[in-house]
Structures are given as C-alpha cells and as structure tokens.
Amino acid sequence: MRRGVAYLAGAGLVLLAFGVAFSTPDSDWVEGPMPARVQIGETATVGDLVGTVHDVRLAREVEADFTRLTTAGVWFVADFTVAGTTERAGVRVDVLIDGVQYPATDRSDAVLDGSTVDAGLPRTGSSLVELPADIAERPGASTAVLRISPRLDSRLDGVIEIVVDLTALDVADRVEVEAARDGLR
C-alpha cells in the first residue's frame, strides 16, 4: 500500500515538473514591450513617446532628400510625427511580421529613425524599412506591426504600434520622401 502511494507521488511530481516546465512564461512574454496600439491618423501617448502615423506605403525605390535608395526587396515607408513626453527620447522603428524583425534602414540621413526628439517638440519625417520582395505572400503579412520605440532595446518599454495589412498596399515603382524636420505635419 505504502509502496503504491510512493509510486503515485513520484508520478505526480514528474507530472508537476512537466506542468511547471511547459507553463512558465518565456522572457519575451515577461519582459516584452508595452504597446499602445492605434490606427493610422490616431495619436498615441505611451512611455517616453507621443506620436501619430500619417501614412504607410510600399515602393520598389525611394528618393529620400535627393538620395536614391534601391533594395533587393521592397521598401516599407512610414510617415509619422513623434515627440518626447517628459524627456529626450530616441526614435527606433521596426516592422514585425510573424516573429521576424525588420529594422528601419540607416542608409539615409534624411529619415526620422535613429534621431532623438525632445519633450513637447515634435519632429515629422519618414522611416524606410526593407522587406522581402515577396512579403505580401508571406505568413503574417496581413497583420504586420509597425513599432516606434524610444530605445534600441524596447523590453519593458512603452512603444507605439500600428497593425498594417501589407497585402492591401500597392507597390509603387518609386516614392519620394522629404528629409525629417522639426514641427508637425
């Protein structure tokens, strides 16, 4: 009888170990950023940033402040205005699609990504993200997430997010973007 109880208790502990192992949230879940999800045209205020995404586009080629930018993929262009809320903050832009991170390019000085914004002093401009040429056919393309973060490491940070349906966007041959500047749109 006591031996039976011991076997049962042992099996129960092993099952418990399985339960603990497979129910412990991973670090992405525990330390993930805290997003404010808004629509295009809506203003989000979260953490160190306040911002509004005005438009998103896809293009094969971009002319950014007289610099021609080509890609083996396709450009995702986001036009937005952003400012700091309480202190100087950075501006980092990524597009996240099905667990894959596509960062904004640093190949142009005209873009807003990589700059800093002071509290209450908005800057308006664009960010350019290279995406694979066949992105519209890839899983998750209809629920791509444009994320604007105040820092390179966005863990446990407030970030602005917009969900974008890339399959609904036409791909232009060429778009022009103006250099990032101070002020609202």
Partner 1 sequence: MTFRERVRGWLPVIVAGGVLVAGGLVAIPFGGWDTVSLVSEEIPEQPIGQPFVGAQWTISIDDVYLIHEHPDGFTEFEPGEAGLVLVATMEDMRPEPQYPISSSSFYPFVIDELIVQGEYLPIETYSTYLARDGSFGPFLSPGIPDTVQFVFTVDEAQFRPGDEIRIGLTDATPEEADIVEGTRWVDVHVAAEVVVRVRDER
d(CA 104, CA 89) in angstroms, rounded, equals: 17
- Which residues contribute to the site for partner 1 (CB under 8 A)? 14, 17-18, 20-22, 27, 68-73, 99-103, 106-107, 129-133
Nearer to partner 1, 45 or 96 (CB): 96
d(CA 151, CA 95) in angstroms, rounded, equals: 15
Name the minimum Å distance from CB 116 to partner 1.
20
d(CA 68, CA 176) in angstroms, rounded, equals: 9
Name the minimum Å distance from CB 27 to partner 1.
6
Name the minimum Å distance from CB 102 to partner 1.
5
Name the minimum Å distance from CB 75 to partner 1.
11
Nearer to partner 1, 10 or 120 (CB): 10
Closest CA to 129 of 155, 166, 167: 166
d(CA 114, CA 126) in angstroms, rounded, equals: 11
Go through the chain and tell me how many residues it has. 185
Structure tokens at 169: 């966007």
Structure tokens at 152: 């390179």
Name the minimum Å distance from CB 39 to partner 1.
26
Name the minimum Å distance from CB 119 to partner 1.
29
Are the C-beta atoms of residues 184 and 124 closer than 8 Å to each other?
yes
Nearer to partner 1, 19 or 120 (CB): 19
Nearer to partner 1, 75 or 80 (CB): 75
Nearer to partner 1, 86 or 101 (CB): 101
At 173, the amino acid letter reads: D
Nearer to partner 1, 15 or 121 (CB): 15
Residues pairing with 59 in the sheet: 75, 172
d(CA 65, CA 164) in angstroms, rounded, equals: 25
